[in-house]
Chain A
Amino acid sequence: MVIYYPYRAQGRSRDAPAVFPKSCFPLARAVVLLWCRAMTNGMSSHTFTGEKLVCIRGERVVFSGLGFHLAAGEALLLLGPNGSGKSSLLRLMAGLLKPASGRLAWGGDPVADDREAHAARVHYVGHHDAIKPVLSVFENLRFWARLHDPASGAGLARAARDRMGLARLADVPGKLLSAGQKRRLNLARLLAAPATLWLLDEPSVALDRQSVKVLEAVIAEHRAAGGMVALSTHADVDLPGARELHLDHFAVAPEAAMGVWG
């Protein structure tokens, strides 16, 4: 996606042959500016940060004192052994879990203050693919796209479907899909309705090598357009220039946890 900055182009467009009368310029500029702001809402300069996050699952402290920083165009790669809290951190970022303590902020504003605004800028891909067996591939995709953004068009959903290599499967019911095809359909949601922050929990599971390449390209384009990605993986997913976050560094030793509680 290319973002046009009208103020940069302004000088040139004044010299260009006048298609519109000059008096139109202030109005046109205002319209274009408003449009740009709407399109890039939250994409341009915002940051997503976490400070001193503590996550408790059941009776166990999964991690504590965890902090991260994500700016526009950046990617965060979550690493760590099984059970180190990669999925929990992603669910925490999405707002599905509440941190036991600590703060999640979007551009300085606490995320907990406006859950709906946060949900509007997040796409979460978890372990389950949320595909209804009796709905066709395209119906599944279209439902999630329209639920995320009722204004999202069918064109975008069609493009997302084709990008993920599901064009031939558009009318196939969900129950006939293989695990990899289901995963591709789930990932197509990312493109069918735009959102700034992508939270991907082991997105490459079940994908063939070619699909992983497509995923990498899609993520790179999203970052180039000012999007952010947080991704957990055990496989090789190529994220150039991604920050790495080792979750085992934030694990709490049993004795220390006793100290916290004792």
Chain B
Amino acid sequence: MNRLFEIIRRDLRLALRQGSDSVMVVTFFVLTVILFPFGIGPEANILERVSPGVLWVTALLASMLSLDRLFQADYEDGSLELLALTPTALEVLVIGKVAAHWLTTGLPLMVAAPVLAVLLHMNADGFLALLATMLIGTPILSLIGAMGAALVLGARRGGVLLSLLVLPLYIPVLIFGVGAIDAAIQGLETGAQLLLMGGILLAALPLAPLAAAAAVRQARE
């Protein structure tokens, strides 16, 4: 358990000192969302209609930007070998790295999303659902992404390969995330979608670290 916190602390410290990754992710998110009013036009009703989808799709893409560094940096400087030789399960360390990744990318995205929702004229009824789906959804993105990031270790042009691997797996999160916000805007129940997302999170929580750790073991051979 101590080791879990140790690795979260190190990754947070690295992210804060390097700074670029988190800032880049949020900046990408903001800029891309701002592009939509230019592309689609400023009509409030159209923007309002597409706002849940736009926010979620751009959040998916933004969270993917930082994924290829998740294990790659540790892989290149030999840290991953030493992590694998730590007297604890590699799965625990993967959970630590995923938690740090979520804190430095998922959480800032969640904070930025309501501000951008205002920009897209999203109905105020959808805000709570937007925050709830982001809270449940972004950890899933980090977990599934970790699986992909571990699989492409050592591959050339891993970043492109990574998006091909990971994006199809993000589709359920996108469907239920947007569905919940749409339902909330129309004044319907959002419980079902949130529960389904919660179910995906609970399934990914043990399974993704197992798969990612297996892929890391494969990569170091």
Contacts and interface: CB of A to CB of B under 8 A. Distances in A.
Interface of A: 94-98, 116-117, 119-120, 122, 124, 126-132, 134-135, 139, 143-144, 146-150
B118 to A, nearest CB: 35
A129 B81 CA distance: 10
B88 interface: yes
Nearest to A139: B13
B171 interface: no
Contact of B17 (A129, A130, A135, A148): A135
B6 A124 contact: no
A147 B6 contact: yes
A234 B76 CA distance: 24
B4 to A, nearest CB: 10
Interface string B49-91: 0000000000000000000000000001111011111111100
A54 to B, nearest CB: 15
B20 to A, nearest CB: 11
A144 B82 contact: yes
A132 B86 contact: no
Contact of B87 (A116, A126, A127): A116
Given A128-B81, A135-B14, A143 B221 contact: no
Q: Closest 6 interchain pairs by CB?
A: A128-B78, A150-B2, A120-B87, A134-B17, A130-B78, A119-B87
Contact of A129 (B3, B78, B83, B85): B78
A124 B82 contact: yes
Contacts of B18: 134
Contacts of A96: 81, 84-85, 220-221
Contacts of A130: 77-79, 81-82
25 contacts: A96-B81, A96-B84, A98-B221, A116-B89, A119-B85, A119-B88, A122-B85, A124-B81, A126-B78, A129-B77, A129-B78, A130-B79, A132-B14, A132-B77, A134-B17, A134-B18, A139-B13, A146-B3, A146-B6, A147-B3, A147-B6, A147-B7, A150-B2, A150-B3, A150-B6
Interface range, B side: 20 to 34
Contacts of A124: 81-82, 85
Given A134-B18, A135-B13, A143-B6, A148 B86 contact: yes
Contacts of B89: 116
Nearest to B74: A130
A124 B84 CA distance: 11
Residue from B6, B87, B221 with most neighbouring chain A CB atoms (10 Å): B87
Contacts of A129: 77-78
Contacts of B78: 126-130
Nearest to B85: A119
Contacts of B85: 94-96, 119, 122, 124
A97 B84 CA distance: 11
Contacts of A126: 78, 81
Contacts of B76: 128
A85 to B, nearest CB: 15
Contact of B88 (A98, A116, A122, A132): A116
Interface in B3-17: 3, 6-7, 10, 13-14, 17
Contacts of A150: 2-3, 6
Nearest to A186: B78
Given A119-B86, A147-B86, 20 more contacts: A95-B85, A96-B81, A96-B221, A116-B89, A117-B87, A119-B88, A120-B87, A124-B82, A126-B81, A128-B76, A128-B77, A128-B79, A129-B78, A130-B79, A131-B77, A134-B14, A135-B17, A146-B3, A146-B6, A148-B87
